[in-house]
A and B are shown apart, each in its own frame.
Chain A
Amino acid sequence: MTATIQDKLFLDRFKVDEESHLRIVNGEKCLKECEGQACLHLCPANVYRLEGERITVNYEGCLECGSCRIGCPHLNIEWRFPRGGYGISHRFG
Chain B
Amino acid sequence: MREEFDAAIVGAGPAGISAACILADAGIKTIVFERGEYPGAKNMSGGVLYGHDLAQVLPDYAERNCPIERNIIESRIWYLSREAGYSFGYRDSIFAGERKHNAFTILRAKFDRWYAEQARKKGALIVPSTVVVDLLRDAKGQVAGVVGGRDQGEVRARVTLLADGINSPLAARTGFRREPRPEQVALAVKEIIDLPSEVIEQRFGVSGADGVTTEILGEVTGGMDGIAALYTNRSSISLAIGANLADFAARKLRPYELMESFKQHPMVAPLIAGGQPREYIAHWLPEGGYDAMPALYGDGYLIAGDSAMLFNALHREGNNLAMASGKMAAEAIIESLRRGDSSKRGLAGYGERLAASYVLKDMKKYRRFGRFRYERKELFNELPRVATFAAREMLTVNGVSKKEKQKLIMRTVRKEVPLPKLFRLLWQAWRAVR
Contact = CB atoms under 8 A, between A and B. Distances in A.
A27 to B, nearest CB: 20
Interface string B366-400: 00000000000000000000000000000000000
B185 interface: yes
B277 A8 contact: yes
B253 A85 contact: no
11 contacts: A11-B277, A41-B248, A44-B255, A63-B282, A65-B284, A69-B179, A71-B249, A83-B131, A84-B148, A92-B278, A93-B43
A67 B246 CA distance: 10
Interface size grouping (class) on chain B: 35 or more
Contact of B192 (A5, A87, A92): A92
Contact of A89 (B37, B150, B152, B185): B37
- Top 4 A-B pairs, shortest CB-CB distance: A93-B108, A85-B129, A93-B109, A66-B167
B41 interface: yes
Interface in B309-335: none
A71 B236 CA distance: 32
Contacts of A15: 37
A46 B226 CA distance: 20
Contacts of B187: 42, 44, 65, 67
Contact of A90 (B148, B253, B260, B279): B279
B252 to A, nearest CB: 5
A49 interface: no
A92 B110 contact: yes
A8 to B, nearest CB: 4
B283 interface: yes
Interface string A1-45: 011010111011001000000000000000000001010011111
Determine which residue in B149, B179, B248, B249 has the highest number of CB atoms from chain A within 10 A of its CB, and name it: B249
Interface of B: 35-38, 40-45, 107-112, 128-131, 148-150, 152, 167, 169, 179-182, 185, 187, 189, 191-192, 236, 245, 248-249, 252-256, 260, 264, 277-284
B36 A89 contact: yes
A92 B236 contact: yes
Given A90-B108, A91-B109, A84 B35 contact: yes
A93 B256 contact: no
B189 A92 contact: no
B43 A81 contact: no
Contact of A12 (B107, B130, B181, B281): B281
Contact of B42 (A70, A71, A73, A90): A90
Given A9-B280, A11-B279, A84-B152, A67 B248 contact: yes
A38 B250 CA distance: 8
B107 A84 contact: no
B169 A2 contact: no
Contacts of B169: 66, 69, 79-81
